[in-house]
Amino acid sequence: MTLATLLLATAAVLGVTACSPPSAAVQHKDDMNQHSLAIDVHVTGDGTPALAVHCTAKNLSGQPLHVFDSPRMPYLLDDQGTLIVLYGVSPPPDDRELNAIEIPTTRVLPPGDALSFEVSLVPLRLHGHYGDEPPRPARHGAATVACRVGYGATPIDAAARAHTSITTLLTWQQLASSRPVTVQLP
């Protein structure tokens, strides 16, 4: 028995068959690379005390998305020198002991609909989901700003909130980001 015959016999016993190219083109859709939200950033009052960042997140997907429904949002964070306008939840800080963390409920953002929000940058007050950040020295001049929106495919209502931890919330949350823009702090 030759090696080729032995290999074919072994393949037949294992149920392995030879592969040939498909007769038609294979259609492959990678949903992980499809952007569900498009975020636009608009700045008013650049270089003045009226400086504000306006963000609009539009649902580009063909499915309803679930965005947070919290009057406390948006937040303003400093992420390694970049100012982040966040309509979502950031991870809890490592340097603080937190007894209870609020899990916000969500609302539906239908396909084609948009969520708009804004933050004043003067005076610059950083605050997040876990409270206000301590005052920092005043910043002046050029600063980079981006908007981020947290969303998910399933709702978080009062019943789901009761069984959701911050860890599962952060796993549920997908983040979409805008392009960064440069503003002039007065």
The strand ranges marked E within the chain are 37-44, 52-59, 65-68, 75-79, 82-87, 106-109, 114-120, 127-128, 131-132, 141-152, 174-177, 181-185
- What domains sit in the chain, N to C, each tagged with a CATH number? 34-185 (2.60.40)
23 pLDDT above the threshold of 70: no
Task: Supply the Cα-derived Rg of the chain in whole angstroms.
Answer: 24
Residue 159: helix, strand or coil by DSSP?
helix
Tens-digit pLDDT profile for residues 105-120: 999 999 999 999 999 9
Q: Report the distance separating Cα 178 and Cα 56, nearest Å.
A: 9
Residue pair 58/110 in contact by the 8 Å Cβ criterion? no
Verdict on whether the full-model pTM lies above 0.85: no
9 pLDDT above the threshold of 80: no
Question: What would the two tokens of residue 77 be?
Answer: 């964070």
Residue pair 83/76 in contact by the 8 Å Cβ criterion? yes
Tens-digit pLDDT profile for residues 134-159: 777 778 999 999 999 999 999 999 99
Confidence of residue 132 (pLDDT cuts 50, 70, 90): confident
18 pLDDT above the threshold of 60: no
According to DSSP, residue 94 is labeled T
Task: Count CB atoms within 10 A of the CB of residue 39.
Answer: 21
Q: Report the distance separating Cα 45 and Cα 121, nearest Å.
A: 10
